[in-house]
Amino acid sequence: MIKNNRNKFMASAAALALVATAVAPAAGAQVSTNADVSYSDVDPKSSHFPNIYKALDYKIMTGFPNHTFKPNQMVTRGQVVKALGKYVVASSGKPLSEFDLKDVPPFKDVPSTIKDQELYTFSLIVKQAGIFRGDNNNLMAGKLITREQMSQVLVNGFGLEDRPGNLSKITDNGSANSQYRGYIDILSENSVTTESVFRPKESTSRAQFASFLVRAYEIQHNEDRETPSQAVAAFELAMGGFVSVGEEFGFDVAVDPAKDNTFNISVPADAPEDGEESGTGFFQSLADEGIEKITIGGTAYTISDGEGNVASGAQAAKEAIIMAVGMENTVNITVEIPYADGTDVTTETYTFNFVS
């Protein structure tokens, strides 16, 4: 059905009211780093920045002697073996010298005579632990590890389990080899990966690996950690189903009873035609709940500093919402919802339909 221009304008006016806000940038939250180490090539603005330093603090991943981390370097299977081998040793509570490895047959391509004795030792440990099996008993240590292979070793290495109450958000699992699909879903259910597009066949960078490791580590060491569904429920309760936001501007926001995460916004006949902005708006309501990032039309926007202050990115997000509503009278907004303990985020997509 073709919508007339008046309806489009009215929907755009309502969208403008929904997102209207002052967008003065706020100072970014500070992330503490290891007092003895500072990596010269890790951008503080990177989403992986906190986890790179957490991995150092947790002693599960370190940088290089020249004080670099090489965040964009792709990870090899051998590097993953060393990282997870060290985790197995650390979590066992006993020194490496007490591991009985004499009955563990080595991988054919990692013999006892190999120059890299660290790789040899940790390859036996991960094999004994059932984390790495190899291909025909070949480890292929120098080969890049794919993201689907990474999912298997992370699940096995950290003992992650299927969580039936938390649905996987992965949309491209069909492109993975069948033996890895369950492992990928488990990563999503546990929020070890927070993306909907997993890209199973791609390689993994050191920065991405650090985030995978830290999230898995924190799950293992925090059994009382909030689940993704609990985080979403708490956020929606605080937002009042977004209904209270609409009430501020004099139009009705109602839950669509037939569709999950869908809200119908009724545009009043007397909506302002001059697009006048009013109120503190949608972004301040999100900022109050600790929301830092939202995605509209495939583009991510940083709309707050995570401390209740609206950031400059909210202005671009507002314009994207108005444009989407002006074209289709509907907008999909994906919200990164933080856990109560601040250790991670989970994502949820909401649809807003503007009707008059």
Domain around 347:
5-28+228-355
Q: What pLDDT is attached to residue 245?
A: 52
- How many C-beta neighbours within 10 Å does residue 344 have? 23
Query: Is there a single domain that holds both residue 98 and residue 194?
Result: yes
Q: Is residue 264 part of a domain?
A: yes
Q: Is residue 38 part of a domain?
A: no
Give CA–CA dist 332/263, Å, rounded.
Answer: 10
Q: What pLDDT is attached to residue 20?
A: 43
Query: Is there a single domain that holds both residue 95 and residue 179?
Result: yes
Q: What pLDDT is attached to residue 103?
A: 93
Containing 153, the helix (H) or strand (E) segment is helix 147-158
Backbone angles phi, psi at 335, to 5 degrees: -110, 130
Give CA–CA dist 326/247, Å, rounded.
Answer: 21
Query: Is there a single domain that holds both residue 72 and residue 212?
Result: yes
Question: Helix, strand or coil for residue 252?
Answer: strand
Query: Is there a single domain that holds both residue 168 and residue 75?
Result: yes
Among the candidates 177, 201, 220, a domain finishes at 220
Domain count, the chain: 2
Query: Is there a single domain that holds both residue 71 and residue 179?
Result: yes
Query: Is there a single domain that holds both residue 193 and residue 232?
Result: no
Nearest to 300 by CA among 70, 15, 45: 45
Q: Is 97 exposed, middle or buried (0-12, 13-18, 19+ CB in 10 A)?
A: exposed
Q: What pLDDT is attached to residue 179?
A: 94
Compute the C-alpha angle 329/332/338, nearest 5°: 150
Q: What pLDDT is attached to residue 323?
A: 84
Among the candidates 220, 245, 260, a domain finishes at 220
Q: What pLDDT is attached to residue 173?
A: 93
In this prediction, the residues of the chain whose per-residue pLDDT falls under 50 are: 1-14, 17, 20-33, 35, 223, 241, 248, 273-280
Q: What pLDDT is attached to residue 226?
A: 60
Q: Is residue 42 part of a domain?
A: no
The conformation of residue 72, written as its DSSP 8-state character, comes to T
Query: Is there a single domain that holds both residue 132 and residue 53?
Result: yes
Query: Is there a single domain that holds both residue 243 and residue 161?
Result: no
- How many C-beta neighbours within 10 Å does residue 9 have? 16
Query: Is there a single domain that holds both residue 260 and residue 129?
Result: no
Residue with tokens 């009430």: 247
Q: Which residues contact 14 (CB under 8 A, 6 or more apart)?
A: 249, 251, 265, 267, 271, 325, 354
Alpha-carbon torsion angle 270, 273, 278, 281, nearest 10: 90
Among the candidates 176, 194, 220, a domain finishes at 220
The conformation of residue 75, written as its DSSP 8-state character, comes to P
Nearest to 78 by CA among 122, 130, 125: 122
Q: What pLDDT is attached to residue 140?
A: 95
First to last CA, the chain: 14
pTM value? Answer: 0.54
